[in-house]
Chain A
C-alpha cells in the first residue's frame, strides 16, 4: 500500500489549459459587480443590534411614551413621592414626579 500511495502522491494532476484563466475571469467578474448597497433602515437596525434589540427598544419607548401621556394613578400615589404641578402647554406632561 505504501508504494501505491507514494506513486499516486508523486503523480501530477495538472489543471488543464485554461482552467486558471476561467477561474480568474470569475474573480474579475465578481470584483466588477458592485456590492449591493445596504438600505439605511437596515444599517440602523444592524447598529442597534438586530431585530431582538430593536423590538426591545421599541417596546421600552412605547411604554415610556404611554407613561408620559397617561400617568398611571398608582404611580402618582406611590410611596412618599411628591407631585409637583407645573404649568405648561404639554397637558399630562405637567405632572412631574419627584422623589420625596
Chain B
C-alpha cells in the first residue's frame, strides 16, 4: 500500500506550512496521503465510489484541522487520517447496506496471463468478500495489521483501544477469515495455506 514517504515531523511541518498559506505543502501532503486513505477506504467499504468520497472528506478534515494541528498532541498525520477514515467508513457502513464487489474491482497484475488474472481476481474477491463478513472492528484491525502492515501500538492509537484488544481483534478476525476462506480453498487454487496460518 502507498504510504507517506516523509517522517511524521516533516508531515507536520508541511501541514503547518499549508496553514500559513503554502499550497505546495498541501500538494505534497495530498500526494502522500490520498493513496493511503483511498486504499484503506476501499478495503473497508469494498466500494470505489464510496471510497473516493471518504478519501476527499478525510483530506478535507485534515485541511480544516491544519491551523490547530499542534493541539492534536502526539498524533501523527498518518494515524489521525487512518482514524478519521475508519470512522467515516464505519458511519457509512452503518447507514447503508454494504455493496457487492463492483465488476471493475480488478486490480490484478495486467502483465499476467488471462488464467492467472482470473484466478488472482477470484482469490482477491474471495478475501474481500470474507473481510466484508467480519464485524467492522475486526475488519478494521485485520486490514490495518495484515494488509496495511501497521504495528499494534499504532493500530491501538487509531482504534482508541489497548494493544491487547488489538491482538484479540486481529486474532479473532484472522481465525474467522481462515474459516470463511477454507470453505473455498480448493476452488480458489489454495492448497493448505488457509490451514497453515
Cβ–Cβ < 8 Å partners of B7 in chain A: none
User: Which residues of chain A from 7 to 60 have any CB-CB distance to chain B below 8 Å in the complex?
Assistant: 7-9, 11-16, 19-20, 22-24, 26-28, 30-31, 35
Cβ–Cβ < 8 Å partners of B52 in chain A: 15-16, 19
User: How many Å lie between the Cα of A31 and that of B67 in the bound state?
Assistant: 10
Contact of A1 among B39, B64, B67, B174 (CB under 8 A): B174
User: How many Å lie between the Cα of A24 and that of B24 in the bound state?
Assistant: 10
Overall SS of chain B's interface: helix
Stretch at the interface among B87-95, B158-166, B189-197: B189-197
Answer whether residue B154 sits at the interface, using C-beta atoms and an 8 A cutoff.
no
Q: Are A23 and B181 in contact (CB under 8 A)?
A: no
Query: Nearest chain B CB to A2's CB is how many angstroms away?
Result: 5
Q: Are B43 and A13 in contact (CB under 8 A)?
A: yes
Answer whether residue A4 sits at the interface, using C-beta atoms and an 8 A cutoff.
yes
Answer whether residue B120 sits at the interface, using C-beta atoms and an 8 A cutoff.
yes
Q: Are B27 and A8 in contact (CB under 8 A)?
A: no
A contacts with B, residue count (CB < 8 A): 25
User: How many Å lie between the Cα of A44 and that of B25 in the bound state?
Assistant: 33
Cβ–Cβ < 8 Å partners of A22 in chain B: 56
Overall SS of chain A's interface: helix
Query: Nearest chain A CB to B190's CB is how many angstroms away?
Result: 7
Q: Are B107 and A12 in contact (CB under 8 A)?
A: yes
Q: Are A9 and B149 in contact (CB under 8 A)?
A: yes
User: How many Å lie between the Cα of A23 and that of B62 in the bound state?
Assistant: 10
Query: Nearest chain A CB to B41's CB is how many angstroms away?
Result: 9
Answer whether residue A3 sits at the interface, using C-beta atoms and an 8 A cutoff.
yes
Digit string of B16-39 for contact with A (CB within 8 Å is 1, else 0)?
A: 001001010011001100110011
Q: Are A27 and B55 in contact (CB under 8 A)?
A: no
Answer whether residue B183 sits at the interface, using C-beta atoms and an 8 A cutoff.
no
Most buried by A among B48, B63, B123, B181: B63
Q: Are A19 and B60 in contact (CB under 8 A)?
A: no
Answer whether residue B169 sits at the interface, using C-beta atoms and an 8 A cutoff.
no
User: How many Å lie between the Cα of A3 and that of B188 in the bound state?
Assistant: 12
Contact of A23 among B34, B123, B148 (CB under 8 A): B34
Contact of A20 among B31, B48, B174, B193 (CB under 8 A): B31
Q: Are A1 and B35 in contact (CB under 8 A)?
A: no
User: How many Å lie between the Cα of A35 and that of B19 in the bound state?
Assistant: 11
Q: Are B147 and A9 in contact (CB under 8 A)?
A: yes
Q: Are A2 and B59 in contact (CB under 8 A)?
A: no
Q: Are B107 and A31 in contact (CB under 8 A)?
A: no
The 10 A-B pairs at the shortest CB distance, nearest first, are namely A13-B39, A27-B26, A5-B146, A15-B38, A23-B59, A1-B197, A13-B42, A30-B63, A23-B30, A11-B107
